[in-house]
């Protein structure tokens, strides 16, 4: 009887251990979802025929607009691979995947030359030009977070990426508006100079706080001038520094570092109005008024 009890006890222990995570039985692998869009640097359009996207054993082909969705991707997956007719095969790093969540890589560009373009940029505030730490810069599916000095370096980008006011990525930081990333000239192989990425504090429907580029947007015969979209563009280049909506009196306001800018006002039914200006010193505000005329 004692021997039988000992055998039963041993069997029970083995069963208990085999049911534990460390016993080799293991549970299901945690998975995530990856989505994005594949584009070509040669045409700034989706590939045709479709591209093939693979990550962690999951595979998808792109839709007509270049979009794709990969499901059941193990969270341990660290790279994504894309192939398309006439383009160099792409294999690049993924950001850390989280179980049950979707990672959006936005637009990923394929090159017919290769992926040897590098950039170094700095993320700064528009109001003080101070560095922004912890900003996320996403370019062609590659995501990097800025350090304490605001510096971001991204390697392995597609040669030929950029130009023609093509948005190739986005920069984000808590407490700031998202900033579209546009390279004025296509990237070449090796190091490329792309300038600073300037992020602005959010601008609501009613401009608040101090401003050093300010004015009114009006039109003939009007009595209330709210609801007009106003943007501040860097000059040269045309990168959008900030944007907002006029209040009832037509007032708008932006805070910007010293530099050259263009103020652009857009309203349905009216021709676009724009005016160039130069801000000599951040603490010396300038007035830039615009008048809209009816669209022909």
Residues in Cβ contact with 90 at an 8 Å cutoff, skipping those fewer than 6 apart: 81, 82, 83, 108, 110, 111, 115, 158
Closest CA to 199 of 175, 231, 168: 175
CA distance 207 to 202: 9
Closest CA to 207 of 219, 220, 216, 198: 216
Sign of the alpha-carbon dihedral angle for 204, 209, 211, 215: positive
Instruction: Give the CATH number of domain 31-110; options: 3.40.228.10, 3.40.718.10, 2.60.40.4130, 3.40.1410.10.
Output: 2.60.40.4130
Closest CA to 90 of 127, 53, 123, 122: 53
Strand 167-172 vs strand 179-182: parallel, antiparallel, or unpaired?
antiparallel
Please check whether residue 112 is in contact with residue 101, taking contact to mean a CB–CB distance below 8 angstroms: no
Instruction: Give the CATH number of domain 213-292; options: 2.40.110.10, 1.20.1430.10, 3.90.320.10, 2.60.40.1120.
Output: 2.60.40.1120
**pLDDT value for 296:** 77
**pLDDT value for 90:** 98
Q: What is the pLDDT of residues 30-88, one digit of tens each?
A: 999 999 999 999 999 999 999 999 999 999 999 999 999 999 999 999 999 999 999 99
Domain with CATH 2.60.40.1120 in the chain: 117-199, 213-292
Question: Residue 19: left if φ>0, alpha if ψ -120 to 50, beta else—which one?
Answer: alpha
Q: What is the pLDDT of residues 133-190, one digit of tens each?
A: 999 999 999 999 999 999 999 999 999 999 867 889 999 998 888 888 989 899 999 9
**pLDDT value for 281:** 82
Judge: domain 117-199, CATH 3.40.50.300.
no
Closest CA to 191 of 112, 108, 116, 90: 116
**pLDDT at position 2 over 60:** no
pTM score, two decimals? 0.63
Q: What is the pLDDT of residues 223-282, one digit of tens each?
A: 778 888 899 998 888 888 888 888 878 889 888 888 899 999 998 888 899 999 999 887
Q: Averaged over 4-10, what is the pLDDT?
A: 40
């Amino acid at each position: 009887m004692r021997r039988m009890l000992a055998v039963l006890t041993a069997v029970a222990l083995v069963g208990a251990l085999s049911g534990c995570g460390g016993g080799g039985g293991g549970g299901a692998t945690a998975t995530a979802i990856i989505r994005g869009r594949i584009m070509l640097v040669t045409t700034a359009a989706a590939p045709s025929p479709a591209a093939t996207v693979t990550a962690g054993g999951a595979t998808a082909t792109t839709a007509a607009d270049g979009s794709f969705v990969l499901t059941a991707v193990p969270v341990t997956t660290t790279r994504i691979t894309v192939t398309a007719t006439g383009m160099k095969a792409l294999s690049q790093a993924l950001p850390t995947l989280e179980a049950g969540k979707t990672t959006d890589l936005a637009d990923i560009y394929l090159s017919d030359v290769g992926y040897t373009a590098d950039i170094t940029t700095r993320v700064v505030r528009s109001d003080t030009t101070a560095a922004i730490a912890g900003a996320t810069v996403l370019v062609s599916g590659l995501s990097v977070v800025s350090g304490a000095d605001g510096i971001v370096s991204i390697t392995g980008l597609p040669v030929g990426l950029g130009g023609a006011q093509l948005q190739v990525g986005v920069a984000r930081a808590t407490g700031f508006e998202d900033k579209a990333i546009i390279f004025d000239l296509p990237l070449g192989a090796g190091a490329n100079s792309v300038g600073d990425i300037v992020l602005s504090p959010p601008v609501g429907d009613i401009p608040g706080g101090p401003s050093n580029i300010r004015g009114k947007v009006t039109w003939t015969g009007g009595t209330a001038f709210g609801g007009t979209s106003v943007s501040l563009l860097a000059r040269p280049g045309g990168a959008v520094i900030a944007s907002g909506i006029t209040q009832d009196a037509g007032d708008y306001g932006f805070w910007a570092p010293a530099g050259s800018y263009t103020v652009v006002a857009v309203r349905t039914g009216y021709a676009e109005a724009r005016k160039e200006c130069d801000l000599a010193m951040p603490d010396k505000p300038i007035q830039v008024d615009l008048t809209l005329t009816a669209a022909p």
